[in-house]
Amino acid sequence: MHITQLNRECLLHLFSFLDKNSRKSLAETCQQLLEVFQDPSLWCLLNFHSPAELKKNNFLLGPALKYLSICWYSERVKVCNIEDWMKNHFQKDFCNRHENTVSDFLLEVCNRCPNLLSLTLSGCGHITDDCILLLLKNCPNLRTLKLENCVRITDRTLEAVTLYGGSLQTLHVDFCRNITRTGLERVREKRPSVTLRAERSADMIPDNKPEKKLMLEKASRKWVQL
């Protein structure tokens, strides 16, 4: 029996066991399998392991998407996490190649995936508060938001949760160094029903602008002289 002799339901079930690349390869063999690949019900869950995967043409974004995960576990994440003013030319060049990749992708999610229920971002050093704010506004059913090692996330994201996270049940902001205890307490106060976790975030050293660091160094030297 040839695969194309299977009915649509069987083909969708078969496709569900394949990864994104395998689905795309199979879809390129004939029109019937391409139509199965393009079925929105096949794309309720998406997992990505690097920004480069977001640029591939092996998946579909649509209203059926419920669970999205972008987790980048790589030594390169450390480069993205360096404060911009401290990066050398090589590091800046590296970051410029993918600085807007995840943000642009999430913008597409905002426009196409209003039924998103869960979002996990890990190691996404260029994601900003504005990105999360827009997502909370456009995905009102979002129940789970997990942010890990996203260094540009600040208390503005926590404020957005109190304003637009009406459906949110779980919020993780682990190892986000620009989150403060004040911001966390505000979420607990305004959204007591949300399960909040912030491992190490409020205990990490936040970013400082160069002029602020210089002022601190001068104050420290004066204190030593005294």
pLDDT in tens, 167-198: 999 999 999 989 999 999 999 999 999 999 99
Task: Give the end-to-end CA distance of the chain in Å, rounded to a whole number.
Answer: 88
Contacts (Cβ under 8 Å, ≥6 apart) of 208:
83, 216
Interatomic CA distance for residues 144 and 64, integer angstroms: 17
pLDDT at 207: 63
pLDDT at 224: 47
- Bridge partner residues of 190 (DSSP): none
- Whole-structure pTM value: 0.83
Average pLDDT over residues 33-49: 96
pLDDT at 184: 95
pLDDT tens digits, one per residue of 126-177: 899 999 999 999 999 999 999 999 989 999 999 999 999 999 999 999 999 8
Domains of the chain: 1-42 (1.20.1280), 44-224 (3.80.10)
- What does each C-alpha distance from 106 to 111, 126, 138, 183 come to in angstroms? 9, 12, 11, 24
Average pLDDT over residues 57-72: 95
